[in-house]
Copies of this chain bind each other. A is one copy, B any other.
């Protein structure tokens, strides 16, 4: 079965391919009688005609794809939410989302040169020359960094701020000796390092001693081992900032296993506000990240980047927020 082309529609409706193209693309400036237009539209619908994306792309030099580069580490619910928003909002503009998992730098250049996407959204930072090359090829680039960045088209989730907020909250509750629970997964190192840096900074600012760092796996024995370490020192840790809620739950479980009470003996604060956080015993205090707002911001940024001379949308304010519960 050969592909249905605009020539078929032209034949079916008794006009030329030119007219078909004009009608179907709503080309203005051309005056075509409504009767002809209707005939063409009917024929297209009757035949079930869909223009070839490849031919269009070849002709225009620009595809209807938006390349979304996701890192090889798991950013958990963010990715779900983001793909959800992006895919829905771009569909309204006739654009589709092409997902590329970043694995080593080379394949990226090949991919974008091959598909000439309209825009590229990076969830992990781009190499500077990659970004420049893409821009030179007329591709709109929306990037991400883990922290502040000058470029208005680069989205920053201030990771260090997360750590600062955690310590700020714990200090408000009167804690002076802070521990940090780090994740095991190396792919999270970039995040964990930034968040820890924030914790360290804030401790310093408040005149507290540097946090005692323990790597905590997502199981009870690991949490218990960390708990023992934190309590062993002559000046024991009384509050733990965890990389995220899952790590925090492991700490909570470890403390419990060691017979320590939360928050009386050791307070715990996580990051993310996953559903399990509010259901934990005690309910987990955490830093809420406004994933939804971030995802729609990124989708909006991509949309804005597509249009010339449109400014990037305003960064969502209040992206980070401590949700105080019983664990602190």
Interfacial residues, chain A to chain B (CB-CB below 8 A): 1, 3, 48, 50-55, 57-58, 61, 63-65, 68, 70, 72, 74, 76, 79-80, 83-84, 87-88, 91, 96-101, 103, 107, 109-111, 113-116, 136-137, 218-220, 223, 246, 249-250, 252-253, 256, 274-276, 278-281, 283
Chain B residues in 8 Å Cβ range of A250: 275, 279
Q: Are B96 and A97 in contact (CB under 8 A)?
A: no
* Chain B, Cβ-Cβ closest to A254: B279
* Residue contact A51 to B114, C-beta cutoff 8 Å: yes
Check A98 against B101 for contact (C-beta < 8 Å): no
Interchain CB contact (< 8 A) of A58 among B52, B83, B276: B52
B61 contacts A58, CB within 8 Å?
Answer: no
16 more A-B residue pairs beyond the given contacts A55-B58, A74-B84, A249-B280, with a C-beta to C-beta distance below 8 A: A52-B116, A54-B54, A54-B55, A54-B63, A76-B80, A79-B79, A99-B99, A220-B279, A220-B283, A246-B276, A246-B279, A249-B275, A253-B279, A274-B276, A276-B276, A281-B281
B residues less than 8 Å from A68 (CB atoms) = 99
Copies in the complex: 2
Q: How far is the CA of A65 from the CA of B63 in the complex (A)?
A: 13
Give bound CA distance, A65 to B276, whole Å: 37
Can you list 29 A-B contacts with CB-CB less than 8 angstroms, sorted by A residue number?
Answer: A1-B137, A50-B109, A50-B110, A52-B58, A54-B55, A54-B57, A54-B63, A64-B114, A74-B80, A76-B80, A79-B83, A83-B99, A88-B101, A91-B107, A97-B98, A218-B279, A220-B278, A220-B279, A220-B283, A246-B275, A246-B279, A249-B275, A249-B276, A249-B279, A250-B275, A250-B279, A252-B279, A280-B280, A281-B281
- Determine the chain B residues whose CB is within 8 A of the CB of A100 once the complex forms: 87, 96-97
Please name the 7 residue pairs, one residue from A and one from B, whose CB atoms are nearest each other, closest first.
A50-B113, A276-B276, A54-B57, A87-B101, A53-B114, A249-B279, A54-B58
C-alpha spacing A249/B284, complex, angstroms: 13
Closest residue to A102 on the B side, CB-wise?
B87
B contact residues around A53 at 8 Å (CB): 54, 57, 114-116
Contacts of A116 in B (CB 8 A): 3, 52-54
Contact partner, A3, options B54, B61, B83, B101, Cβ 8 Å: B61
Question: Contacts A52-B58, A54-B57, A218-B279 given: A88-B103 contact, CB under 8 Å?
Answer: yes
Residue of B nearest to A277 (CB): B276
In the complex, are the beta carbons of B275 and A52 less than 8 A apart?
Answer: no
Closest to A103 in B: B88
In the complex, what residue of chain B is closest to A281 when comparing beta carbons? B281
Which of A53, A74, A279 gathers most chain B CB within 10 Å? Answer: A279
